[in-house]
Structure 1
Amino acid sequence: MTEVNCVSYGKWRSPLTSDLIVSATIGLSTPRFDGEDIYWLESRPLEGGRSVIVKYSPNGEHQDITPAPFNVRSRVHEYGGGAFLVQDSTVYFCNNSDQRVYIQKVGESPQPLTPESKLRYADFCLDKSHNRLICVCEDHSEENHEPQNKLVTINIITGEVKTLCKGADFYASPRISPNNSQLAWLSWNHPNMPWDSTELHLADINPDGSLTNITLVAGGENESICQPEFSPNGILYFSGDRSLWWNLYYRDEKGNIHSAYPLDAEFGYPHWVFGESVYGFEREDKIICTYTQDGCWFLGSIDKKTKSLTDYEIPFTNIAYLQVQGEEILFAGSSPSQPGAIVKMNLNHGQYEILKQSSNTIIDEGYISQPIPLEFPTSNGKTAYAWYYPPQNKDFVAPEGELPPLLVKSHGGPTAMTSASYNLRIQYWTSRGFAFVDVNYGGSTGYGRDYRQRLKGNWGIVDVEDCVNVAQYLVKEGKVDGDKLAISGGSAGGYTTLAALTFFDTFKAGASYYGVSDLEILATDTHKFESRYLDSLIGKYPEEKEIYQMRSPLYHIDKLSCPVIFFQGLEDKVVPPNQAEMMYNALKEKGIKTSYITFADEQHGFRKAENIKKALDTEYNFYIEIFSNH
C-alpha cells in the first residue's frame, strides 16, 4: 500500500510535471473524410507548435502528410482555422510562414498553388465544375489600411486568384451545393461580431463561375448565423439564434424558413475560428448533430419527419468538428477522464473507435480531479456557472483544518466557454494541492443569447464580478482558503484577471497571459477582426473615452496592491506586447512584486513546448512564494 504523506496544500509532489504535459500532449482537430481515408490536424508542441496533416488508412496506418518545415495554419482574422481541404487524395492547405495555398497529392511533395503575395486564405470548398477552390481571403496589400476581406476563387490548375464577392467587412463559410449550382456564405460588418449579427446569403453559380440571384436568406441585426450547409438534396440548412438559442433551421424551395428542431440548447459556436462543425447529414431526413446544455455537449440525431431528437450514449462530454459520411461520423471528443481524441463512430450499432489520442500517457485516476458543476449566485440576483476541481493526489493529504489555495481561471474571448474536458494543465494544479475553478462568466457561450449578451456594455464588470463571486462563494462554502486566492487568464481573460486584481481586494496574486491593461490602446491598436469589438463590450471610442479609462487597470495602479506576473509573446498582433510592458513597469515602479516573462517567437497563445513548460512552472512557483508568506 502506498504511503500517504501529510503535506500542506499546494506543495504536494505530482507526477504530472510540465515536461510530461508538453511531451505527452498534442492538439487534435479538424477530422475529415476522403472516401475510406480519414485526415486530421495535429498541433505538436515538441515540433515548435507545428501543425501537421495526418492520414489514417482503413488498415490502421497513420501517415504524416505535411513534411517539415511546412506548418498548416491560416492567419485570417489572426485566429485562423479552416486551413486545409482534402478531396480525392489531394490536399490543399495554407502554410503558416508565407500564407500561400499549397497543393499536395498524397505521396508527393507540396507545390505552391497561389503566388507570393500579402493575401491570406481560409475556409475552403471545392467547385469541381470550374476546377477551383472557393474560400475566404484577407488582403493585407495596402499598408496602413484595414485589410480587405472577400470571397475568392483559386484555380486548382493555374493558381489564378479571382475575386468572387466583396463589399462586406467580413466573410465566412462558403459552401457549395451538391450539384455545384449554388453557393451559400456568411457575411457581417463593423461594428458587429459574428455572434451578434451576421447575414446568410445564397446565390446561383453561372456557367462562367460568376454569381447571380444573390438572396439574403436569414440574419441581420440581432441574429447570429453559423455553419450554412446543404443537405444531400440541396436544401440549405443553418444554425441561427432567432429563438435566443443557436438552433437548426432550413430554407424550403419557396424560400420559407423552418425550424428543424426547437430546443433551449446551443447547436453552434461563436465564430472565432473557421472550420468548426456541429451537424451533418446521414441522409436527407436525418441530421446528426452535437449541441450543448449546461456546459456539456451531447451527440444526437434529428429525425426531420417526426421532428424528434434522439441522443447517442457515448462517454464524451466535449464534442467538436463533427463530420458525417453516411452511417459513419468523425469528431474530436474528450471527457473529464478521457484525453482529447479523434473518434470514428458507426451510427447503426453505436460503436466507436479512437483513431488518435492527444496523449497516450496513462495517468492513475488517483491523481485526476473530477469536475463538479457549479451554479453560484452573482451580482444583481443572477446566477453564473463554473466547473470546480478539488485538490486530488492519492499520495498526499493536508494537515487537519487546512484549506487549499484556489486558482480561478478566466477564459478568453470573452465570448468563449469552458467545458468539462480532460485537461492536464488543470490537473497540474489540482495534483499539487490547489483547488481550481474554471468560470463560465456572464458573456460566455453555451447558455443562450441572453447570457451571452450580459457583457454588452459591461465588459470589465460582469465577468470580473462573476470571477470574484465564485471565489467568495467557495470561501463561504468552506472549500478554499480565503487568504490564498489567485486568478489567471489569457487574452480577454487576462484583462478580466487584471481588472479583478485592480478593482477588488479578493485575490492575493494573479497571472496575465497576453492580457489587456489599457482598453484605449486595444481600441486603436489591434487587428481588424476585433477592432470594433469594444463598441458593444464597452462603448464607442473616442466618444466614451472616459469609460475606457475608468475600466482600464493601467489607469488605476494606485488600487492594485498584490503581486502579478505577466506572460507575453513578442509577435502578438492581437494584444501587442506594450499592454503587458506598461503594466509591468507601472507595478515595478510602485514596488509591487511582479515579473514579466517574454517569448520572442510566440504570437497570441503559446505553441512551443519549452515556452508552455516555462510559463506553467513559473506561474506555479510565483504563487508558492507568495502564499508561503500567508
Structure 2
Amino acid sequence: MIKAEVASYGCWRSPITTDLITASTIGLGQIALCGEEIYWSELRPSESGRNVIVRRGADGKIESLTPSGFNVRTRVHEYGGSSFLVVSGTVYFSNFIDQRLYCHQSNQEPQAITPKAATRYADGVFDRQNNRIICVYEDHTDVTKEASNSLVGVELDGDHKIQLLVSGNDFYASPRLSPDGSRLAWLTWNHPNMPWDGTELWVGELKADGSLGNTQKIAGDLDESIFQPQWSPDGKLYFVSDRTGWWNIYRWQDENVEALTQMEAEFGQPQWNFGMSTYAFGSANQIICTYTQQGIWYLASLDTLTCNLELINTPYTDISSLHATSNQVVFRGSSPTQLAAIVRLDLTTKELEVLRYSSDVTIDAGYLSLPEAIEYETSDGKTAYALFYSPRNRDYTAPETEKPPLIVKSHGGPTAATSSSLNFSIQYWSNAIL
C-alpha cells in the first residue's frame, strides 16, 4: 500500500483534469415504453448537439432511429421536454429546426404531419378512439403578443386536421387519457405563477366528435402545485400535490381526493419541462415511485390498497424519468460514484440492468469525494439543505493544522436543483483543492 504524501491544499495533483471534464458524454433524456421495447432520447455533443431517439428491442438490440438531418426537440415553453411519442412501433416527434410534428416508421424517411407555421407541439398522448395525438400546442403566429397555449388533437390520417380542445389560460401541460379513452386530465396555470407555485388539475369527458365536455377542476389552486396526473389501469386518477408543503401522492375517485403518502419527502419535482415522471404503475394495485429526502432519491413500491410503502434497494441516489410496465421499471439513475445511465429493473427478479451509460469514463474510487447531506437554519426559522464534499485524493493528505478552502456553489433555482450524481466539475475541486 502506497503511503499518501503530505502536501498543502492547492499542491495536490489529480487525475481529474479539464480534458476529462470536457470528454465526450451524451445526455440521456426522455424515456418511453412500448410493449417490450424501450425508447429514450440522447443528446449527442459529437453531432452538434443533435437529439436522437434510440430503441432497445425485445431481443436486446440497441439502435439509433433518428436519421441525419433531424433533431428531436420541442421548444414549447422554451424548456421543452416530452418531444416524442411511440404508438405501436411508429414514432411521432417534434423536429427542432421547424418545430413540426413528424411521423417516423421503420426504414422510411420521417414525414411531416403538421403544416409549416409558427407553431409548436409537445407532451403528446395517443387517442386511439379518434386516431389522433392530443398534445400541448403553442402558437407564435402573432408576434405582437405573447404566444398562446392550448390543448389540441392532431389527426393521424387524412389531412391531419387540428382540433382545439382547451384554451383560455396562459399555460397547459400533461394531457392524459383514461384507459378507456373517455376522459382527459390536464394541468393548467396562469401568470405570474410558475408550475411549482400553483397549478390546477382538470378533467373533461370526450364527446363523440372528439371535443371536450363536462369539465371540472379536481385539485390545485394559486398556492397548490399539482404534478404528474396519471390514470391507473383501473381508471382512477392519481397525482402529486404539495398542499401540505410536501409533494405527496394523491388519488381522485368517486369525486373525493385522498392521500396515499403523507411524508416529509418530495414525490414530485419542479416541472420546468414536460414529461417529468416520478411514479408509474406496475399494476392497478402497485405504484413504483421515487422520492427525495435531503437531496437523496429513493426507489419504492407503493401498495394502492394498503398505502404501504416499501423501499427497493438500488445503488442510485438520483432517480428520474421513471416508467413501468407489469414486469419492468426503466429510469435514469446516477450516484456519487456513477454517471447517469438508463437502467432497467426486473420487477420479478429485482435485478438491475444498465442499458446505456452516458459516458465510458471511469475514475478510481480513491479519488472521489462522496457527498454528505447536511441541513442548517436560515431566515425566519426555515431549514436549508446542502451536499458537502470533503477533500479527497488517495495520493495526498494535508498537514494536520491546515484547513481546506471552502467553495460554496449555489444551485440555479427551481430549474436546477443540486444533484448527488457524480459530477467531474465538483470532483475536480474536491480532489485537487486548487
TM-score, scaled to structure 1: 0.66
Rounded to whole Å, the distance in 2 between the matches of 1:384 and 1:274 is 27
Preserved CA contact (<8 Å) 1:29 1:342: no
Counterpart residue type for residue 30 of structure 2: T
| Counterpart position of 1:224 | 225
Structure 2 counterparts to residues 35-434 of structure 1, below 5 A:
35-157=35-157, 158-252=159-253, 254-398=254-398, 401-414=401-414, 416-433=416-433
What is the distance in 2 between the residues matched to 1:44 and 1:382?
41
Superposition deviation, residue 21 in structure 1 = 2.9
Secondary structure, aligned partner of 1:409: coil
Which has more helix, going by share of residues?
Answer: 1
Deviation at 1:134, TM superposition (A): 0.7
Q: Distance in 2 between matches of 1:37 and 1:427?
A: 36
* Distance apart, 1:125 and its partner CA: 0.4
Residues in 2 aligned to 1:190 and 1:372: alpha-carbon distance in whole angstroms: 38
Q: Using a 3 Å threshold, how does the CA distance of structure 1 residues 117 and 305 change in structure 2: closer, same or farther?
A: same
Shift of 1:4: 4.9
- 8 Å CA contact retained: 2:270, 2:414: no
Helix, strand or coil for the counterpart of 1:429? helix
Q: 1:144 to 1:6 in 2, by over 3 A?
A: farther
Secondary structure of 1:122's match? strand
2:206 partner amino acid: I
Could you say what secondary structure the match of 2:306 adopts? coil
CA distance in 2, matches of 1:183, 1:256: 17
Partner Cα distance (1:96, 1:405) in 2? 44
- Compared CA separation, residues 48 and 309, structure 1 to 2 (3 A): same
User: How far apart, CA to CA, are the structure 1 residues paired with 2:432 and 2:304?
Assistant: 50
Structure 1 consecutive aligned stretches of length 4 or more whose deviation exceeds 4 Å:
1-8
CA distance in 2, matches of 1:291, 1:395: 37
The superposition leaves residues 265-315 of structure 1 with CA deviations (integer Å, 9 ceiling, x where unpaired) of 111111101011111111112211111112111111111222211111111
CA distance in 1, matches of 2:284, 2:29: 27
Matching residue's letter, 1:83: S
Aligned counterparts of 1:336 and 1:277: Cα–Cα separation in 2: 22
Gaps of 5+ in 1: 435-630
Counterparts of 2:327 and 2:61, CA distance in 1: 22
Identity between Structure 1 and Structure 2 (%): 50
Aligned equivalents of 2:143 and 2:415: distance in 1? 30
The equivalent residue for 1:33 is 33
TM-score by length of 2: 0.95
TM-superposed deviation, 1:349: 2.2
What is the distance in 2 between the residues matched to 1:179 and 1:72? 30
Q: Output the CA distance in 2 between the equivalents of 1:12 and 1:69.
A: 46
Q: Is contact 1:74–1:96 with CA below 8 Å preserved after alignment? A: yes
* Cα distance in structure 1, aligned partners of 2:296 and 2:151: 35
Q: Structure 1's 44 and 3: CA in aligned 2 closer, same or farther, altered over 3 A?
A: farther
CA contact (8 A) 1:22 1:45 kept: no
Judge conservation of contact 1:139–1:148 (CA < 8 Å) in 2: yes
Instruction: Return 5+ residue gaps in structure 2 as ranges.
Output: none
Higher strand share: 2
Deviation by residue 1:591-610 (Cα, 9 ceiling, x = unmatched): xxxxxxxxxxxxxxxxxxxx
Q: Is the 8 A contact 1:23 1:45 kept in 2?
A: no
Give the number of equivalent residue pairs: 433
Per-residue CA deviation, residues 368-394 of structure 1 (Å, 9 max, x unaligned), is: 111111223434554321101122222
Query: Is 1:393–1:431's contact at 8 Å kept on the other side of the alignment?
Result: yes
Deviation per CA, 1:469-491: give whole Å up to 9, x if none.
xxxxxxxxxxxxxxxxxxxxxxx
Q: 1:389 and 1:128, CA in 2 relative to 1: closer, same or farther beyond 3 A?
A: same
* Deviation (angstroms), 1:402: 3.5
* Larger RCO, structures 1/2 (Cα 8 Å, 6+ apart): 2
- Offset of 1:168 from its aligned partner? 0.6
Query: Distance in 1 between the 2:316 and 2:400 partners?
Result: 36
Asked if the contact 2:24–2:46 (Cα under 8 Å) also holds between the matched residues in 1, the reply is no
CA drift of 1:80 comes to: 0.8
- 1:132 & 1:269 partners in 2: Cα distance? 29
2-structure distance, mates of 1:10, 1:70: 46
Return the offset for 1:151: 0.7
| Offset, 1:25 | 1.9
Instruction: Tell me: CA distance 1:132–1:10, structure 2 relative to 1, closer, same or farther (3 Å).
Output: farther
SS of the equivalent of 2:58 reads coil
Using the alignment, how far apart are the partners of 1:433 and 1:178 within structure 2? 55
CA distance change for structure 1 residues 255 and 24 in 2, over 3 Å: closer, same or farther? same
Q: Structure 1's 3 and 294: CA in aligned 2 closer, same or farther, altered over 3 A?
A: closer
Following superposition, the deviation at residue 129 of structure 1 comes to: 1.2
CA distance in 2, matches of 1:44, 1:324: 26
2:256 & 2:399 partners in 1: Cα distance?
66
Pairwise CA RMSD: 1.8
